[in-house]
Amino acid sequence: MTATGRRGLAIVGGGKIGEALLSGLVRRGGADGLLVVERSPQRAAELTDRYGVPAVGLADAAARARVLLLAVKPQDIDTLLGLVAAHVDDGHLVVSVAAGVPTARIEAALPPGVPVVRVMPNTPALVDEGMSVLSAGAHAGEEHLDEAEALLAAVGRVRRVPESQQDAVTALSGSGPAYFFYLVEAMVDAGILLGLPRALAADLIVQTALGAAVMMRDSGEHPVQLREAVSSPGGTTIAAIRELEKHGVRAALMAAIEAAHARSVELGRDAT
Ligand SMILES: NC(=O)C1=CN([C@@H]2O[C@H](COP(=O)(O)OP(=O)(O)OC[C@H]3O[C@@H](n4cnc5c(N)ncnc54)[C@H](OP(=O)(O)O)[C@@H]3O)[C@@H](O)[C@H]2O)C=CC1
Ligand SMILES: O=C(O)[C@@H]1CCC=N1
């Protein structure tokens, strides 16, 4: 098929994030113009059954789709690029969500001039509350960023940053949902420790997390102001905050996010 005959998007790698993005795109516009490429036939069939999106081979996907969204693990990206290279040209747009992998590494593996956009999405895309952050490669212009942004806006908010900030973005919003899940898990355990039934503790904490998140997004107030409003003088909240400070939770979060950043940089270097 000629470049002008291509339309839509093929997601290459239908794992956790590939499915999150696929599900949002189908919710927004249906399955028309979408394709999926998965190396596991069983997983491919599962995605086709669930979303009505045809599973095809890589060559077929590149012939039919204008945008190829690569959603394989960073450890698999070089092998995949080796396969993709034979099928893409500068009429395609290649979007990569692989953590750490620089656009220069992708461009070097593809024919000259192929536009590449690097994106760091996150799994809340599954519920249309994703945060996706885009950076252009050397051959990608505003029109390519606009095209990638239009796709990702289907599943949440989108921001653009210089590529030099992508490893930090990965450590914050890419991995970020896991930190919140971990905190909720620990808080539910605390409810169990205090004798509450697990289901009740989970209900209380999940709704509290949601309410706190909406306040942070919509109130226009700084998290410190919001926390101060909960902390009554001589009360329960400040007793808890003192323990969090004593146990170094703030420093632990900083160290954790620094470790995620370091791992993103490391994944970007080569197949590690
Ligand atoms: N999970 C997340 O929250 C986020 C992930 N990312 C990035 O997204 C990428 C995917 O992560 P994630 O979804 O968690 O990983 P998964 O392992 O769940 O998904 C990757 C999928 O790609 C398949 N795959 C590997 N090679 C090929 C190939 N050559 N052709 C077709 N399919 C292939 C894998 O198959 P198999 O199972 O056989 O290996 C797997 O199903 C990573 O680069 C990650 O950094 C970015 C943001 C958030
Ligand atoms: O854990 C990971 O490596 C991927 C990238 C960001 C979220 N998940």
* pLDDT tens profile 100-113: 999 999 999 999 99
Note the pLDDT of residue 272: 47
- Residues recorded for the chain: 272
Note the pLDDT of residue 255: 98
Note the pLDDT of residue 5: 81
**Ligand 1 centroid from CA 121, angstroms:** 13
Q: What average pLDDT is seen over the chain?
A: 96
pLDDT greater than 70 at residue 197: yes
Note the pLDDT of residue 51: 97
Residue of the CA atom closest to atom 12 of ligand 1: 16
Q: What is the mean pLDDT of residues 168-188?
A: 98
What is the b/e burial string over 192-220, where b = at least 16 CB atoms within 10 angstroms of the residue's CB?
eeeeeeeeebbeebeeeeeeeeeeeeeee
Tell me which of 163, 190, 225 is where a domain ends.
163
- Same domain for 195 and 130: no
Mutation test residue for ligand 2: of 175, 182, 257, 261, the one with most atoms within 8 Å of CB: 175
Q: Which atom of ligand 1 is nearest to the CA of 123?
A: 3
What band does 271 get if pLDDT is binned at 50, 70 and 90? Answer: low
Q: What is the mean pLDDT of residues 199-218?
A: 98
- Same domain for 202 and 123: no
Instruction: Say which residue the tokens 């290279």 belong to.
Output: 85
Residues of the domain holding 227: 176-267
Edge-to-edge strand ranges of the sheet holding 156-160: 34-37, 9-12, 67-70, 93-96, 116-120, 130-136, 156-160
For the stretch 219-232, pLDDT in tens is: 999 999 999 999 99
Question: 181: closest CA among 237, 124, 222?
Answer: 124
Q: What is the mean pLDDT of residues 12-21?
A: 96
- Same domain for 149 and 23: yes
Other C-beta atoms lying within 10 Å of the C-beta of residue 242: 10
| DSSP conformational letter for 174 | I
What band does 235 get if pLDDT is binned at 50, 70 and 90? Answer: very high
- Same domain for 126 and 24: yes
Query: Do the domain assignments include residue 62?
Result: yes
| Helical (H) or strand (E) element with 182 | helix 176-193
**Ligand 1 centroid from CA 10, angstroms:** 14
What band does 2 get if pLDDT is binned at 50, 70 and 90? Answer: low
Distance CA 243, CA 229 (A): 18
Q: What is the mean pLDDT of residues 202-217?
A: 98
**Ligand 1 centroid from CA 187, angstroms:** 30
Q: What is the CATH number of the domain that holds 260?
A: 1.10.3730.10
CA-based radius of gyration for the chain: 21
Sign of CA dihedral 183, 130, 93, 25: positive
pTM (two decimals): 0.95
pLDDT greater than 80 at residue 156: yes
Give the residues surrounding ligand 2 with Cβ less than 6 Å away.
99, 170, 174-175
Contact assessment for residue 47 and residue 14, using Cβ atoms and an 8 Å cutoff: yes
| Helical (H) or strand (E) element with 134 | strand 130-136
Task: Report long-range pairs for 143-150 (Cβ below 8 Å, ≥24 apart).
Answer: 144/93, 144/115, 144/117, 145/117, 147/67, 147/93, 148/67, 148/93, 148/95, 148/117, 148/119
Query: Do the domain assignments include residue 109?
Result: yes
- Same domain for 255 and 123: no
User: What's the structural domain count of the chain?
Assistant: 2
Token representation of residue 179: 């930190």
Q: Which atom of ligand 1 is nearest to the CA of 70?
A: 9
Residue of the CA atom closest to atom 7 of ligand 1: 98
Tell me which of 141, 163, 185 is where a domain ends.
163
Q: What is the CATH number of the domain that holds 159?
A: 3.40.50.720
For the stretch 31-88, pLDDT in tens is: 999 999 999 999 999 999 999 999 999 999 999 999 999 999 999 999 999 999 999 9
